[in-house]
Amino acid sequence: MPHAVGSVAGQKRKLPHDATKAHKSTENPRTSAKAVTQDSKDAILLLETEILESRRNYNNIASLLVICNETQTDEETTTAAVALCRVFCRLTAAGDMTKAKGMPENEVTVIDWLRAKYAEYTQHLQAMMRDSDESKQSTAMVLTMRLVKESASKDENIWRTGLFCDLLQTLLSSAQSSLAREELVEKYVDEYDDVRFFTLLGIMRILGRTDKGKEVDIKALVDHSLEILMRMEGPFPSSEDITDFLAGSPPPKHVLRSSNAHKKAAQDAWLSLLRQPLTRPQRKAVLNKVTTHIAPVFSRPELLMDFLTTSFDIGGAVSLLALSGLFHLITTRNLDYPKFYTKLYSLIDADILHSKYRSRFFRLLDTFLSSTHLPATLVASFIKRLSRLVLTAPPAGIIAVVPFIYNMLQRHRQCTFMLHRDPHPSFLAWQTLHPSSSSNDNPSLEDPFLADEPDPTKTLALESSLWELDTLRSHYHPNVATLAGIIAQQFTKREYQLEDFLDHSYASLVEAELGKEVKKAPVVEWEIPKRIFSAEGGGLARTGSLLEAVRAREREVDKGSKDT
């Protein structure tokens, strides 16, 4: 009760002014804030209801836009944005924003005003899309696509030049719209065939405008286009399975129902991206997906050849990544790459066995050298260069090379005599005539292999031997030394499964050693000494005596240097 009852007079007594304030201040501020928020929501919903009830209340649209742009609380802004979306969807569906011939001038004025407010509202949604708040991005995406659905069912140009085109432009240019890009692909592109088709067309057109005078951040544009394209599921369905549309089902012969049209759109979008000045990370990202993600959605995959050959000529890791794409086109499209094996041979350098793409390279190299019709001189050059590289390679790299060479020797028997080359008769005669001379003085014992020769058919590798593999039998790592021993044994095994040796690393080798069961406990010091330099009974121990002798010698040297 806000008032007290007098015990004597039996009448109501007013509280002092300060007491009234104190009484009011005891209300829960959180409850009060909730009440204010609920009142604001009710007011927003009332404005929406009035708009839909009568055209005389169209000015409420301006009031809702003010709430969207100027309200401090996110909850009120979101409520107003949702209300405006419902309003404009109703107006679009009813045709109240469409001009017609012979329409009175006052009606045209109203429609122009509504379109201006609609444009202002969509700009607000795009601003929400660029906001760092992910909840705002998600809300803006849902509302924008709701408007696109309603508008595109009336006018297909919305996809190409209207709201959807503006949406793509915002997503591709904004660095903070990552969640919105993800939602576009997951909720709309992968679910609706028309959204996928016009997304591809939009990306192609936006990237195609980058060289027409307008300054844009090319790197960001390519990054965000790549993000959307990489997320798309592929390959595309056949024409009979293209049945899911956001903006209503098109006629039977419409371009949206053609699988070839979808592939053509995907191809044009990717080619527009590949024509941009790609950074090294962007190029690597594309090359990683060529065979699995890009080529399957191309109607003419051979158009990727220029990009792949340019990447292959760059060198290093980029060339390694381009290998799989080139091989895909060579085998599936019968395309040719001049001097392919010469370029492949150049990739085998000191860095290849340290590269993180080592496993992928050996898988591809195994495929490229699998044909028994390759010249023995060519195969011998690859075997010899790999053998030379193992002298400075890490253990994990050597473990991949030795079985690989074993398999190559099994497939190409013309190269097996590189394992053991008997001395030439002329050398034996020279050795008989010069028994006191060192065999190292004879030039005929030098390795004839030309390591710096770029052409693998001219390295003289077939006249050399694989002495490098024999040195591995003395390698410090026991696994490497044991594995190298297979070269000295009879070749009774058909081939080794290369996959069992490709993914080793220092970590896996150490883990394997630590996981071995110890059959015999190693001998260790059974008693920990209490002293190192001093003896139990006093004086210096053996270690201390040695240390003292070293120090005395140092003092003598210092004294001698001062006297001189």
DSSP labels, 191-237: T-HHHHHHHHHHHHHHHHTTTSS----HHHHHHHHHHHHHHS--SPP
7 band by pLDDT with thresholds 50, 70 and 90:
very low
CB atoms within 10 A of CB 530: 7
pLDDT tens per residue, range 460-476: 999 899 999 999 999 99
pLDDT tens per residue, range 448-462: 899 999 999 999 999
385 band by pLDDT with thresholds 50, 70 and 90:
very high
* HSE-CB of 121 using CA atoms within 13 angstroms: 27
**Are the beta carbons of 173 and 225 closer than 8 angstroms?**
no
544 band by pLDDT with thresholds 50, 70 and 90:
confident
Q: Who contacts 458 (Cβ-Cβ below 8 Å, separation ≥6)?
A: 450
**Are the beta carbons of 275 and 174 closer than 8 angstroms?**
no
How many percent of the chain have pLDDT more than 90?
Answer: 45
Report how far residue 192's alpha carbon sits from residue 232's, in angstroms, rounded to the nearest whole number.
12
DSSP labels, 173-189: H-TT-HHHHHHIIIIII
What local confidence, expressed as pLDDT, does residue 12 receive?
Answer: 38
What local confidence, expressed as pLDDT, does residue 222 receive?
Answer: 93
Asked whether the predicted pLDDT for residue 253 surpasses 90, the reply is no
Q: Which helix (H) or strand (E) holds 171?
A: helix 163-173
Bigger pLDDT: 290 vs 432? 290
What local confidence, expressed as pLDDT, does residue 10 receive?
Answer: 38
Asked whether the predicted pLDDT for residue 107 surpasses 70, the reply is yes
**Are the beta carbons of 94 and 87 closer than 8 angstroms?**
no
Secondary structure (3-state) at 540: strand
What local confidence, expressed as pLDDT, does residue 168 receive?
Answer: 95
Closest CA to 78 of 30, 1, 133, 12: 133
What local confidence, expressed as pLDDT, does residue 72 receive?
Answer: 65
What local confidence, expressed as pLDDT, does residue 426 receive?
Answer: 65
**Average pLDDT score, the chain:** 84
pLDDT tens per residue, range 85-104: 999 999 999 888 888 888 88
Bigger pLDDT: 218 vs 533? 218
Q: Where are the alpha helices (DSSP H) in 347-439?
A: 358-368, 376-389, 395-411, 425-433
Instruction: Return left, alpha or beta for 370; rule: phi > 0 is left, psi -120 to 50 is alpha, else beta.
Output: alpha
**Are the beta carbons of 122 and 143 closer than 8 angstroms?**
no
pLDDT tens per residue, range 488-537: 888 888 889 999 999 888 888 888 888 888 788 777 766 666 777 888 77
What local confidence, expressed as pLDDT, does residue 36 receive?
Answer: 43
Token pair 């012969």: residue: 253
Most confident range (mean pLDDT) of 138-147, 209-218, 346-355 is: 138-147
Asked whether the predicted pLDDT for residue 432 surpasses 90, the reply is no
What local confidence, expressed as pLDDT, does residue 553 receive?
Answer: 87
CB atoms within 10 A of CB 89: 16
Report how far residue 158's alpha carbon sits from residue 280's, in angstroms, rounded to the nearest whole number.
36
What local confidence, expressed as pLDDT, does residue 537 receive?
Answer: 76
What local confidence, expressed as pLDDT, does residue 200 receive?
Answer: 95
Mean pLDDT to the nearest integer, 311-329:
89
Mean pLDDT to the nearest integer, 27-32:
43
CB-neighbour burial class of residue 483 (10 A; exposed 0-12, middle 13-18, buried 19+): buried
pLDDT tens per residue, range 152-207: 888 888 898 889 999 999 999 998 889 999 999 999 999 999 999 999 999 999 99
Report how far residue 490's alpha carbon sits from residue 472's, in angstroms, rounded to the nearest whole number.
18
Bridge partners, 5 (sequence order): 12
Report how far residue 456's alpha carbon sits from residue 415's, in angstroms, rounded to the nearest whole number.
14
Residue 190 token pair: 């992968």
What local confidence, expressed as pLDDT, does residue 266 receive?
Answer: 93
CB-neighbour burial class of residue 404 (10 A; exposed 0-12, middle 13-18, buried 19+): buried
Asked whether the predicted pLDDT for residue 348 surpasses 60, the reply is yes
User: 455 — phi, psi (to 5°)?
Assistant: -90, 115
What local confidence, expressed as pLDDT, does residue 215 receive?
Answer: 54
Q: Maximum CA pair distance of the chain?
A: 146
Look at the alpha carbons of 292, 298, 303, 306 in this order and tell me if their dihedral is positive or negative: negative
Asked whether the predicted pLDDT for residue 17 surpasses 60, the reply is no
Mean pLDDT to the nearest integer, 439-447:
58
What local confidence, expressed as pLDDT, does residue 19 receive?
Answer: 37
Asked whether the predicted pLDDT for residue 480 surpasses 50, the reply is yes
